[in-house]
Every structure is written in structure tokens, then in C-alpha cells.
Amino acid sequence: MSPPPLLLPLLLLLLPLLNVEPAGATLIRIPLRRVQPERRTLNLLRGWGEPAKLPKLGAPSPGDKPAFVPLSNYRDVQYFGEIGLGMPPQNFTVVFDTGSSNLWVPSRRCHFFSVPCCQKVKGAGGIGEISSPSDTFLTSNLGLHHRFDPKASSSFQPNGTKFAIQYGSGRVDGILSEDKLTIGGIKGASVIFGEALWEPSLVFTFAHFDGILGLGFPILAVEGVRPPLDVLVEQGLLDKPVFSFYFNRDPEKPDGGELVLGGSDPAHYIPPLTFVPVTVPAYWQIHMERVKVGSGLTLCARGCAAILDTGTSLITGPTEEIQALNTAIGGFPLLAGEFLFSPKYIILCSEIPKLPAVSFLLGGVWFNLTAQDYVIQTTRNGVRLCLSGFQALDVPPPAGPFWILGDVFLGTYVAVFDRGDRKSSARVGLARAHKGEADLGGGETAQAQFPG
């Protein structure tokens, strides 16, 4: 099935405050590397809609083999890390996306005119196969990408089924194939993935990543393909279907954070974790009870749906409410943006220390964002720019309306995504991320408290 139509992206009963990880557990880490800011702020736009049926969660497989994956950070609005496909592994940089459920990368067999398939090769300074002097503009502006070569893999198995994934800014078309996945030191998982043959979207042309690895629920997967997380658990390579993200928002630090497979690392956050039930196990959708801007503005007053989405850079919500929020924080609307998910409101940088907190009531706990958290600060041609991390996005019924808590929120709060099993339902745990030694003093959390 195709993902439901538009994005590129909620409380039943509060569960006990528990640490997901048993003491002494070994976790699989996937680092997120940091990339120097460049000209464009990009964001993937996926389709949204109502799933036809709920997925089966399944039971976790035996073993205790969690993994850590390092992540890269592009302008504090894109985080990605490395995986390998084939034997020997061909390396790709992918976005780990909780808003979709398929794995795909560019193919060496891609359409000649598909610009995102321009290949990045070693020894060419990242320029790849571009050789003409007239292509200097392309080499400085395009994100050139690695391509999967089935002939270079001894473990490749053809499938040939056509697939298409529709994004708000374009689509990806190609064929399905099967090969071995390497991720965070885990090797040998046989996965079905997409070889992208046609990527007409500018989002992929200028992207600093090659492809996408979806971490959503199986119901979202195109053509009924088993998502990579499910495969790792089913093949006994991962103990349980739990993972967590730590996004490093400190520009002075070289790393971009970590994706932890199999659980969470308590060193990444200030306990306790607040667990909130997943209300619709397709996207990671939860119930949000309220949003407050300082002490003067209340949004989502009667409760609303929210999506926790690592593939969305900003925080989005219904147009009327986001306009009111940006007005309350002194945002000036920009007339146009380069991409749909580029920030649309500018903030006076000198006003940041005076701006109100924006707080989200989830699971009975207030999660507070200061202006330092929600204002995106960047420099262009030597000029400092401050942009609002809040953007309007109207998701129509039956799926919407809902808010999307993207990287602006998830950079401040570590999220532990727990798919559950036959005995427990899916849930998300949230806790304030460590930012350094300053966070450790006194053991205080940064969760704001407001009267009910």
C-alpha cells in the first residue's frame, strides 16, 4: 500500500514512570554526525492519512543485542547516520525517520536525468562523476549521493516489484530488492529495500543524505514490506522493538547525537522518563493535552493529536494556532521560503532572552521549550539570522488535524520509542536531554510546571 496522502512529517492512561533499560544492558549505538550549515534548510514531506487497519505489534525476539548509531546534524534541522547494504557493505547516509516505514537508497540503475542520483565516489572530493568545468555550480550546490550497485554485492537477491512513495514535495519511484543490512555493528539481516530509480524532487536533489530508513509501524510500509526494525527483531538480531534518539543541538560539539537501537542510554537524559501511550500505531501518534505560550496564550485547549516525527525539522500545527503562537513570540512572517518546510517566521535575535517559554502538556507533565530551544539561529553571508521553529501545516481529516513535534522538540527532549509486545501496548517515553555539565547541577529537570 502507498503511504496515506500529504507530509516532508494523541492520552488513554498514563503508564508508570519506568526506565526502559535494565541495568548493565549493552546497547547498539548509531552515531549522528554533524554537517556544517550551508545555504538551504530542507525537510522531507510525507503523505498523511488514515491507515486501513492497525498493525500487529508482535513479541520481541530473544537476545540482548542493542545498537548505537551515530548521527550527522545539518543546521540543527537534519540528522542522519550510516548504514551498509550488500556484501561487502556499500555505505549510505540515511535519515532515520519515525514518520515512514520503508528503507530506500538511490540505485546505480537510476534514470539518467534523475539529478539526485549523481554519484559520490572516493577520491573525487565529493564531486563524484561530474567532470566538466561547466558543472562547478552543480558540485557546490547539489548533495551528490552514493548509489547501490547490485552487481557489487554477492548477497543480492532480485525482487523487481515496483514501488512509489509520494511526498508533499515530490515522489520517489523504483523497484524493490533484497540484500543484507549492516547497522550499528549488526550484520546479516536480510531486508527488502527500495532502489530509487527516479527522484524528481528538489528536496532529494539538495539533500545531504542518500536515502531514508523508516522507523514507523508496519501499516505505513509501501507494498507491505517488513520495516527494518521488525526484521532485526524477527531474525533475533535485536532484543526488543525499542529505540531512542538523542539529538545534539550544541554547535560547539562535533557529533550530531545518537540513535540507540534496543533501548535508551540514561546518560542522554535527565530522569524520569514520562511515558505516553501511542493512540494510533501507524505514525508515532499520541494525545497532547494543551500548549501554552508564556502565561498569556493557550492552544490545543481541548486536547489534540500530535505526531513525534524525527523526519520533520520543525514543530508544526494548524495554521490559525501557529499564527497566534508566532505572533506571541514576536515572529515576523517571511514572504516566501525556498522549500515548504523552510522556516516562515523571522525573530529579532536581540529579543531571544525576553521571549516566553512554549510548553506542551503530555502525559500530565509540562515539557518546556525556551527561546534558545525553539529559535533556529544561523549565519548567512556573515549575517546572523534567527528563525522561528514553528510552522503552519493543516492536515485534513480523517487523519488530521494534528501537531507534529519534529526535531525542534526532539532536540530538547530525548524520545524513547517502544513498540510494545503481546503484553503491552506501544508508548513513547520523554525526558529532558542532557546538554552538558550545566544540566547535571542540582539534578533539576527543565520541565515547566503550570497550574492545572
Q: Which grid cell is 393?
A: 501545516
Q: Which residues touch 220 (CB under 8 Å, ≥6 apart)?
A: 3, 4, 51, 100, 101, 102, 214, 282, 283
Question: What cell was used for 222?
Answer: 509501501
DSSP code of residue 20: S
Residue 332 has pLDDT above 60, yes or no: yes
Q: How far apart are CA 221 and CA 214, in angstroms?
A: 8
Using CB atoms within 10 Å of the CB of residue 212, give its burial: 0 to 12 exposed, 13 to 18 middle, 19+ buried: buried
Q: Rounded distance, CA 10 to CA 277, Å?
A: 8
Q: What is the mean pLDDT of residues 357-376?
A: 97
Q: Which amino acid is at 118?
A: C
pLDDT of 42 strictly over 60: no
Tens of pLDDT, residues 176-218: 999 999 999 899 999 999 998 875 555 555 567 888 999 999 9
Q: What is the pLDDT of residues 260-289, one digit of tens each?
A: 999 999 999 999 999 999 999 999 999 999
Give residue 278's Cα distance to chain centre: 17
pTM of the model: 0.80
**Among 7-16, 24-33, 354-363, whose mean pLDDT is lowest?**
7-16
**Which burial class, exposed, middle or buried, applies to 216 when counting CB atoms under 10 A from its CB (0-12, 13-18, 19+)?**
buried
| pLDDT tier at 421, thresholds 50, 70, 90 | confident
How far is Cα 72 from Cα 77, in angstroms, rounded to an integer? 10
β-pair type (332-333, 280-281): unpaired
Lowest mean pLDDT among 2-16, 367-381, 404-418: 2-16
47-95: pLDDT as tens digits: 444 333 333 333 333 334 445 444 444 444 467 899 999 999 999 999 8
In a 10 Å sphere around its CB, with 0-12 CB exposed, 13-18 middle and 19+ buried, how is residue 164 labelled?
middle
Q: Annotated catalytic sites, by residue? A: 97, 309
For residue 117, name the pLDDT band (cuts at 50, 70, 90): low
Contacts of 386 (CB under 8 A, 6+ apart): 346, 347, 348, 349, 352, 375, 376, 377
Domains in the chain (CATH in brackets) are 28-258 (2.40.70.10), 267-443 (2.40.70.10)
